[in-house]
Structure 1
Amino acid sequence: MNADSIDQLQVIVDDQSRLGIALILFVMMFSVALTLKLEDFGLVRREPGRVLGGVAVQLLGLPLLTLGLILILSPPASIALGMLIVASCPGGNVSNLLTRAANGNTAYSVTLTAISSVSAAVVTPLSILFWAGMYGPAGALVRSLDVDPWPFFTQTAALLAVPLMLGMALNHWKPDLAGRIARILGPLALGCIALLVAVGIVQNWPLILATGAVIIPIVVLHNGSAFALGWLSGRALGMETARRRALTFEVGIQNSGLGLVILLSQFSGVGGAAAIIGTWSIWHLVGGSLLAGLFRLVDSRTLAANATERDT
């Protein structure tokens, strides 16, 4: 399939589905906010350099890296748009779980997730529009979809900011109630996203078959580069191993469910972008789990080697 054909593919979304997608987005961000506490931001005051450095890698480094990959690969416009949407999304709670599994610094991971999630209301829509405009074909595609920048920004910001504020307020004033609701809404939101992805796969199976040979290598390269950026940035910032691992997962694990919802609700479900984001939503879990296992393997071998040295 050539570039022009990929850019013409589209995931059809009717008005009722758009309303349902907006509701899923609201529930997703509300459930995320229910787990955020003011204490999660305390590390900013104690270690501002490392926290702000990590945030900069997430919010600026990953989109810049993505733009570099796009300029090298010169993919079709819709694929480039999908890559940039993913790179503009905040991290997700999965990064905290993988950090813990990899013996990383979970407190640092939670702080970065909290900051990226809260800032997403403003940063994510601005980032998508800015970085898409930096690659001519993607910018032209956005214009062809009649995406008006100001309404897109205000609508997306409102959809993200309102549930975030409500969730954090509830967690502050009624933490026990927020915890109980989060235990229900968290899995529900993940289930809705999983269902959305599954339905999309079933309904668009011909699209996936047609684009898979192009999409999968790009997603694997993009995600692998994101993990590498997190690790190398941690080294450049002078972080110890546990923090480097946390930053690795924060940069490599993005809230692709949010990206998919934004694409379907605001960008007419462009097929190439949908294929990128949908594939990323599956692959980053696979790649992240493999990486966490590799880190644990390194730790176990280090412990075994140290034990052998002590015995001798």
Structure 2
Amino acid sequence: MLEDLDNSVLNFNQDSLLLLNITLAIIMFGVALELKVADFKYILKEPKAFWLGIVAQFIVLPFLTWILVLTINPPASVALGMFLVAACPGGNVSNFLSHLSRGNTALSVSLTAFSTGGSIFFTPFNFALWASFYEPTANMLKSISLSYFEVFQTVALILGIPLILGMLVNSKWPKWSEKATKILKPLSILIFAGFVVIAFLGNYDLFLKFISLIFLWVLAHNFAALASGFVVAKIGRLGIAETKTLTIETGIQNSGLALVLIFTYFDGLGGMAIIAAWWGIWHIISGFAVTAYFRRI
């Protein structure tokens, strides 16, 4: 059964992939329309909380993912999916959830913006680094002959350019940006949710066959992600608002970016794609659950 998962491929055509790329770029552009240079000044104002957030996102989470992979010993394709999700930046909905949980919204915005921009370098680097520490994934990557420079270009195109353009537009036309983001963000997120549903329905038999295993793996991985932010915040003795923000920021990953990279460079490899797709569903559920709990604190 596990060997079947490694050899399975999700059905997803090139036209759908192009539309998914465009949708993610629009989501990022919509987020950037709300960003100002002043948002990054928070880094100078509260450097401790910010850098602890970066450590949780780009160091602790990938490390805990590696520990989890060694513990559960999943198939190579599943482990690759876990490493890739952990290497991606925080998801855009984290800002909304951080605000809803009465966390530090300014910190959340700064972390999302920085991790998104930094993901151009950190995502290919972390993915290659941690995947090389697990023999099955290291062997699989050798057989695929992945070009990390091409991954870098894809991430820059989907996230980096829309981020810069959105901030430039906001600086010149702030009123238009405020109106546009109210339409772009919900619309693009609904389209992305539609992609996940379509991918699920188009591969229903495959999901049904492996969901019992995938559910437990993603549950454990998402718990590790939430714990990364929470534990780092506690060790750093941050306030409750900052602790909420770091927990949510590392628990919500940009699984949409992971899906784009999987369908672009791994031809929809079953284990990877199912992990990323289920992450896209589950981290919203767990994010709202954690937010509901945090609102009571």
* Residues 1:130 and 2:139 are matched in the alignment: no
What displacement does 1:79 show?
A: 0.7
> Partner residue of 1:40?
39
Q: 2:125 & 2:175 partners in 1: Cα distance?
A: 35
Q: 1:112 & 1:63 partners in 2: Cα distance?
A: 17
Q: Which runs of 4+ in 1 moved over 6 A?
A: none
May I ask how many residue pairs the two structures share in their alignment?
A: 297
Q: Which amino acid aligns with 2:107?
A: Y
> Partner residue of 1:109?
108
- Give the structure-1-normalised TM-score: 0.90
What are structure 2's unaligned runs of at least 5 residues? none
String of CA shifts for 1:197-226, please: whole Å, max 9, x gaps.
001000001110111111000111111121
Largest Rg, 1 or 2: 1
String of CA shifts for 1:13-49, please: whole Å, max 9, x gaps.
3333332232223222222222221111111111222
Structure 1 range deviating more: 64-73 or 138-147? 138-147
> Partner residue of 2:96?
97
- Percent identity reads 38
> Partner residue of 2:174?
175
> Partner residue of 2:74?
75
In structure 2, the CA distance between the partners of 1:128 and 1:28, relative to structure 1 (3 Å rule), is farther
Q: Which amino acid aligns with 1:45?
A: L
**Aligned-pair Cα RMSD in Å:** 1.7
* Residues 1:251 and 2:245 are matched in the alignment: no
Structure 1 range deviating more: 173-182 or 58-67? 173-182
* Residues 1:223 and 2:252 are matched in the alignment: no
In structure 2, the CA distance between the partners of 1:160 and 1:291, relative to structure 1 (3 Å rule), is closer
Q: 1:266 & 1:37 partners in 2: Cα distance?
A: 34
What are structure 1's unaligned runs of at least 5 residues? 300-312
Structure 1 range deviating more: 66-75 or 111-120? 111-120
> Partner residue of 1:232?
231
What displacement does 1:166 show?
A: 1.2
Structure 1 range deviating more: 195-204 or 165-174? 165-174
Q: Is the 8 A contact 2:12 2:199 kept in 1?
A: no
> Partner residue of 1:165?
164
Structure 1 range deviating more: 11-20 or 85-94? 11-20
Q: Which amino acid aligns with 2:28?
A: M
Q: 1:72 & 1:191 partners in 2: Cα distance?
A: 36
Map residues 255-294 of structure 1 onto 2, 5 A cutoff.
Answer: 255-294=254-293
Q: Which amino acid aligns with 1:178?
A: S
In structure 2, the CA distance between the partners of 1:143 and 1:180, relative to structure 1 (3 Å rule), is farther
* Residues 1:51 and 2:44 are matched in the alignment: no
Q: Which amino acid aligns with 1:123?
A: F
In structure 2, the CA distance between the partners of 1:144 and 1:21, relative to structure 1 (3 Å rule), is farther
> Partner residue of 2:87?
88
DSSP-derived class of the 1:75 partner? coil
> Partner residue of 1:309?
none
Q: 1:96 & 1:162 partners in 2: Cα distance?
A: 20
Structure 1 range deviating more: 143-152 or 172-181? 143-152
Q: 1:169 & 1:248 partners in 2: Cα distance?
A: 30
Q: Which amino acid aligns with 1:128?
A: F
> Partner residue of 2:10?
11
